[in-house]
Structure 1
Amino acid sequence: MPKQGPLLVVSNHPNTFMDPVVTASLLQQQVYFIAKSTVFGSGFQNWVLRQMHLIPIQRREDNPQQEVNNAEAFAASFKALQEDKTLLIFPEGNSFNQRRLRKIKTGAARIALGAEAEHNFSLGIKILPVGLNYSAPTRFRSDVFVNVGEPIEVADYAAAYQQDGSSAVQALTETMRQRLESLIIHTPTDEEDELARQIEAVYKEELSATIPATAPAYAHDFLLTREIIKSINYFSRVSPERVSSLKQKISAYQLELTRLRLHDAVVGKGSPAVFWQSIIGALLLALGLPVFLFGLLHNYVPYLIPSKVARAATDEEEWYAPVMLTVGMFAFPIFYALETWLVFEWLGLTGSSILAYLVALPFSGFFALGYWGMLQKTQAHWVLLRLFVKRKDTLAKLRLQRACIIQELEQAKQEYLQHAKHLHVSREQ
């Protein structure tokens, strides 16, 4: 990421206030944010938000009856870019918790071109596209892959802008759309996104061998999912009935997994491996039980409160993560302070003892999270062992379902790779 401006960072917007936090945290310089005017309110609130470098911009959908006037916002943005500052804008306008890019607005292009036009395209403004890809936007400690694209030189559009400003704005906006779409997981419909997730759950491990050796490890999941979606798009065009049949088979298989309280990762394992993993898992769980209980006792309530507040405060998933983050920032310190005070009053701990207790609170909380994950994994192994012993026919049927799906996906993969190879050769010719 460039370390200085004039820079306009544009990004997709799947997770409300988490998106500017994630993006700005990766920029070394001070960042100014283009924010919708509805977050501004009283005089004091306006002052606070402006100290946080927020620039309010009006949107027609916020006040349909009111005429939109963004002259002040554009002037402030021009001034920031002229002073070599960095602006962050989300050109979709609204936040959507979906793996796709919505129609983007022209404001970012108008700001960049307008600022350059005032100085005869001598400022050197760059537009940096950034793709945000969350693995689970509402889940604590889930991953986000920040995919940074190549900067767009605004001066390249000088001749087009001088000839026809409106057409130049549209052209630059289209370039941003194409760049952003290439940096994110983009599923055209909810149905295709659901199928992609189902294929990921069953087949992603088998696909890992197709990833180029030069690809960094942190990008593997992104690259695999993107190729899965491309292949779904291809087969949806050439053989839609095949896609529909596959979707039904995977849905039936996952329904059976849910009924048996299993997950796909353990179904293909042999009985000796499952047996020993169950034994080792049980031993580790027994050894870690005291620390788990300590962590659970001291962290469960502040861990639970943020999610309860988020679900009570809004029905929109896009707001869950920022609400939980904000509430958690207060809930954990307050409860830790209260628990430390109670231990001081009841047990009389002081000095290094009370400090050790305080330090143990967050660490035991993280341990409890890891312990819970191991417990769920070990439980799945126990369920599978029980099927080995008592319901071999059910397990055999489940594995046959999985084998048929894998075989069909493998065949589709070979056909798609052959198609991609022919397409590559045709383009070269």
Structure 2
Amino acid sequence: MLYAILKLIYKTGLQVFFRRFEVRNRSLMPDEGPLLVVSNHPNTFMDPIVTASLLRQPVHFIAKSTVFGSGFQSWMLRQMHLIPIHRREDNPDQAMSNDEAFAASFKALQQKKTLLIFPEGNSFNQRRLRKLKTGMARIALGAEADTNFGLGIKILPVGLNYTAPTRFRSDMFVNIGEPIVVADYATASQQDAQAAVLTLTEEIRQRLENLIIHTPTDEEDELARQIEAVYKEHLAAAAPPDAPAYEQDFLLTKAIVKSIGYFSQTAPARVAALKQKLNNYMLQLKRLRLQDAVMGKRSNAILQQSLLNLLYLTVGFPVYLYGLLHNYIPYIIPSKVARAVTKEEEWYAPIMLTVGIFTFPLFYLLAGWMATGLLDLTWPWALLYFLSLPLSGFFTLHYWNTLQRTQEHWLLFQLFIKRQNLISDLRQQRQVIIAELEAAKHDYMEELKLPFEGKASS
């Protein structure tokens, strides 16, 4: 009962927290077990919330034993379907046994339940898949071996891709992979159980890596993000429109990362030179408090958009103040709580989501009660007032983002008037970078005989 209530609450919260929440290949998700769901783990508690919200059936979670306390806390976590597992790194000086966790996992799968495991073990806010632990393969093969491979366990790989894991109203792309039938490893497991575990673990790793943006190092990830900022719009314009925008965006990023890996091996000097130009260009933009997006627009288009934005900001200012008055406190409290509770960025989003689930409804109810009592509102007016609170909140957020974009546009105009040579130089640098990226794309496709780079990783 507790699990069902929390799932409903969090599922609603996710639709508010993320600006765009997209799922690819949802039809591949089985509606029943025995099922073992495995996923990358970039965003701590947000990852199980996202994954479990997509499955119709209840999900049991494998969690590190250190989150379990004693008494009420342990009882609560078990009611939420968490199964504790001991990790050597949590208690390196003690001999740990996971017999209880494995027995509970076997029992859950034999009862045709669904388990969720994050085989990386720890959560890090990075666009990469770290080394996988073998526990999920041992659980799957062990449970099947106990019944002579007659259970029919499947392993479902799920790739979680966040545009900004710690930011409210960012984008979420969930990439579902083809399930793995564990019984296919029956012969291999019977011949050499340990080798089968390693083979299955490697199969899971490859599948997960294909479902996410995987950058091997922080340096390559930074380069990929810079190329995305400057060049992805050019790639998207040439891409065939046979895939949804969110899927196309993912494939383009995958192609960029793949091409960086290729040139890092075949032409490292070329990559180093491009990296230097991008770093210099981005550093100058940062010093001027500009984004690359405005540099690619024509001056007339920026002026026209700025004037429209100014009209919108003027007309919408009273609504902005109304929304700010009613939403600032419940909006700022989750952020303050998250930063007070932890310094680890990976925990910000789930804490903000959890706290926000309570602060917004409670504050809205309090505001509605006070307004009804003070203004003696009839129920239709009270309902209208209550509905205006979340709507004005979304408007206020959009208004603030528009205000920031408009400020950036006017800053660009001021620089263009006062320091025209500087802006011209930046735009020239941008054109040189884009020309080099175009040449690299041509060479890459010619070498690998690809019809279009955006489809390279599909």
Query: Which TM bucket (shorter chain)?
Result: over 0.9
How far off is 1:150 after superposition? 0.8
Higher relative contact order (CA 8 A, sep 6+): 2
* 8 A Cα contact 1:132 1:146, kept in partner: yes
Residue aligning to 1:331: 359
Equivalent positions of 1:3-22 (< 5 A) are 3-22=31-50
Distance 2:314 2:160 in 1: 40
Distance 2:296 2:83 in 1: 54
**Are 1:415 and 2:440 an aligned pair?**
no
Equivalent positions of 1:6-405 (< 5 A) are 6-405=34-433
* 8 A Cα contact 1:211 1:223, kept in partner: no
SS in 2 for 1:55: strand
Residue type of the alignment partner of 2:335: S
What TM-score, normalized by structure 1, do the two folds share?
A: 0.95
* 8 A Cα contact 1:271 1:388, kept in partner: no
SS in 2 for 1:105: coil
What TM-score, normalized by structure 2, do the two folds share?
A: 0.89
Residue aligning to 2:26: none
* 8 A Cα contact 1:9 1:89, kept in partner: yes
How far off is 1:385 after superposition? 2.6
Distance 1:215 1:359 in 2: 36
How far off is 1:185 after superposition? 0.6
Contiguous gaps of at least 5 residues in structure 2: 1-28, 453-458
Root-mean-square deviation (CA, aligned residues, Å) is 1.8
Structure 1 stretch displaced more, 401-410 or 214-223 = 214-223
Residue type of the alignment partner of 1:368: T
SS in 2 for 1:96: coil
Contiguous gaps of at least 5 residues in structure 1: 425-429
Structure 1 stretch displaced more, 184-193 or 386-395 = 386-395
How far off is 1:399 after superposition? 0.8
Distance 1:327 1:184 in 2: 28
* 8 A Cα contact 2:445 2:451, kept in partner: no
Residue aligning to 1:427: none
* 1:81-139 deviation line (CA, Å, top 9, x unaligned): 11111111111111111000111111100110011101111111111111101000001
How far off is 1:207 after superposition? 0.9
Residue type of the alignment partner of 1:375: L
* 1:288-307 deviation line (CA, Å, top 9, x unaligned): 11111111111112211211
Distance 2:132 2:240 in 1: 32
Distance 1:423 1:210 in 2: 11
Question: For the structure 1 residues 112 and 210, does the alpha-carbon distance in structure 2 shift closer, same or farther, using more than 3 Å as the test?
Answer: farther
Distance 2:405 2:165 in 1: 22
Distance 2:158 2:240 in 1: 23
How far off is 1:235 after superposition? 1.3
How far off is 1:423 after superposition? 12
SS in 1 for 2:63: strand
Question: For the structure 1 residues 145 and 387, does the alpha-carbon distance in structure 2 shift closer, same or farther, using more than 3 Å as the test?
Answer: same
Question: Which segments of structure 1 move beyond 4 Å, counting only runs of 4 or more?
Answer: none
Identity %: 69
How far off is 1:270 after superposition? 2.1
SS in 1 for 2:140: helix
Residue type of the alignment partner of 2:384: A
Residue type of the alignment partner of 1:364: S
Residue type of the alignment partner of 1:406: I
How many residue pairs align between the two structures? 424
* 8 A Cα contact 2:83 2:101, kept in partner: yes
